[in-house]
Amino acid sequence: MTDKTYGKINTDNRGETLVEVMVAFTVLMIVVAMFTGATNFASATINNSIDIRRTADEEYENFRKELSKEKKTGSPSTTMRTAESPVSVTIAGTDGNHDLIAYQYKSGDSIYWVFR
């Protein structure tokens, strides 16, 4: 190697500086934090949807049990969800013979309508 070539290599500034490496590492950490946050959010959303689905299934099963009791007795249950009587609305048929009665049952935040 000649002195001229050695001088060129010695003064060549193509390498990364410490600041560039730190900036790249910081950007990498920000991206990793974003992915971690997105994964945590998705996981929490999945857990919430499982809880909501489980609650809805339990409510539906309770509703079906009470509805089957109604069919056996032939009259709407007054204790389907609460001790309150269900709200009923009668819709008259066009020929006067086929009336539709709608019963509203409340349970917490849920409202159910049964049509007969």
Is residue 3, in this structure, part of any structural domain at all?
no
pLDDT of residue 31: 97
pTM: 0.43
How far apart, in whole angstroms, are the C-alpha atoms of residue 116 and residue 99?
8
**Is residue 83 situated within a structural domain?**
yes
- Structural domain includes residue 1: no
Run of H or E residues at 112: strand 110-115
Residue 81 lies in a domain: yes
Tell me, rounded to whole angstroms, the distance of Cα 85 from its chain centroid: 33
Report how far residue 53's alpha carbon sits from residue 48's, in angstroms, rounded to the nearest whole number: 9
- Assigned domain for 2 exists: no
The answer to whether residue 50 is domain-embedded is: yes
| pLDDT tens for each residue of the chain, 116 residues long | 555 665 555 565 666 788 999 999 999 999 999 999 999 999 999 999 998 888 888 888 887 887 777 777 766 654 454 555 667 777 777 776 777 777 777 766 777 777 77
pLDDT of residue 11: 61
Chain position carrying tokens 């001790």: 83
Beta bridge partners of 90: 101
Query: Where in the sequence is the domain holding 77, given as residue range(s)?
Result: 17-115
Q: How many domains does the chain have?
A: 1
pLDDT of residue 91: 76
- What pLDDT is recorded for position 88? 75
